[in-house]
Amino acid sequence: GQTNTRKIFVPRFEDYQKVYDHIAKRLEDQDEYDDGSYGPVVLRLAWHASGTYDKMTNTGGSNGATMRFAPEGDHGANAGLKAARDFLEPVKEAFPWITYSDLWILAGVCAIQEMQGPKIPFRAGRTDRDVSFCTPDGRLPDASKDRSHIRAIFGRMGFDDRAMVALSGAHALGRCHTDRSGYEGPWTFSPTTFTNDYFRLLIEEKWQYKKWNGPKQFEDVKTKSLMMLPTDMELVKDKSFRQYAELYAKDNDAFFKDFSDSVVTLFELGVPFQQPEDQRYVFKSSFD
């Protein structure tokens, strides 16, 4: 009979590290974009790919990269994420063996680490799925809503209050764009460096409604140059949320640890991995 001698490439840690290094280099080379980095929007892509997960039906999540397709890519919450997907296209071309779904999450990990955030251990093994796996609209959070909405959305993924607050600390990074969400402005003075400043500012600054024609949002009284969404303000108005916001404002190490743990969980929701939990990859950062 015939023997199949075609060699199958089985990528290992070193191969994923090469992809990481390539993304890190691209992040460095694109300093004309936004606040000087694609890092924030790339992290937002990884989060929106993962945050569609529903634990009851075990649907959605980062397995599949279904945001490539029209129904999901066009959901209002995903406005602007084409910039991140396009940014990663040359990486997919350079490493055609990696799936889009692993690439987007690996890129999120790289963005966090390269913006000086905590180490985010990574498992590979996501597969790309077709358009029929697109999730229905409405699974991602709506910034105009209150605490019950936040708990419904993140509870559906399986998170508790502590994890909801920790994950929200990602808003130390990036900004809102009127042509994407309708909101405007950054949350912190250093939107391309991962810090606990989001919590420090939430707790320590005075916030007032911004007077403008856009959707309801908050501005800091002192400089009027920073913003908070209605959902961000819920983290200091709700007693249970607030205890964690206060903890993270005081203790950057506690924030980094809880953020890392929660984002690893987020990025892995609904993925049937072969790679065991105790053998995750920890990538070397460009500045290690």
Residues at the site binding ligand CCH, with contacts judged by CB under 6 A:
40-41, 43-44, 47, 80, 141, 143, 150, 167-168, 170-171, 173-177, 180-181, 183, 229, 231, 263
171 is catalytic: no
Q: What gap in Å lies between CA 276 and CA 260, rounded to an integer?
A: 18
For the CB of residue 193, give the shortest distance to ligand CCH in the complex, in Å: 12
Active-site choice (47, 104, 187, 207) = 187
Whose tokens are 């607050």? That residue is: 165
Q: Which is nearer to ligand CCH, 64 or 186 (CB)?
A: 186
Active-site choice (47, 48, 171, 207) = 48
For the CB of residue 145, give the shortest distance to ligand CCH in the complex, in Å: 7
Q: Which is nearer to ligand CCH, 95 or 153 (CB)?
A: 153
Report DSSP letters for 134-190, one per residue.
PPPTT-S--TT--HHHHHHHHHHHT--HHHHHHHHGGGGS-EE-TTTTS--EESSS-
Q: Which is nearer to ligand CCH, 95 or 135 (CB)?
A: 135
Residue at shortest CB range from ligand CCH: 174
Residue 207, beta-bridge partner list:
220
48 is catalytic: yes
For the CB of residue 46, give the shortest distance to ligand CCH in the complex, in Å: 8
For the CB of residue 180, give the shortest distance to ligand CCH in the complex, in Å: 4
DSSP state of 211: -
Query: What are the start-end ranges of the H helices in the chain?
Result: 13-29, 39-50, 70-73, 82-94, 100-114, 147-157, 161-168, 197-204, 230-237, 239-250, 252-268
Residues with a catalytic annotation lie at: 48, 187
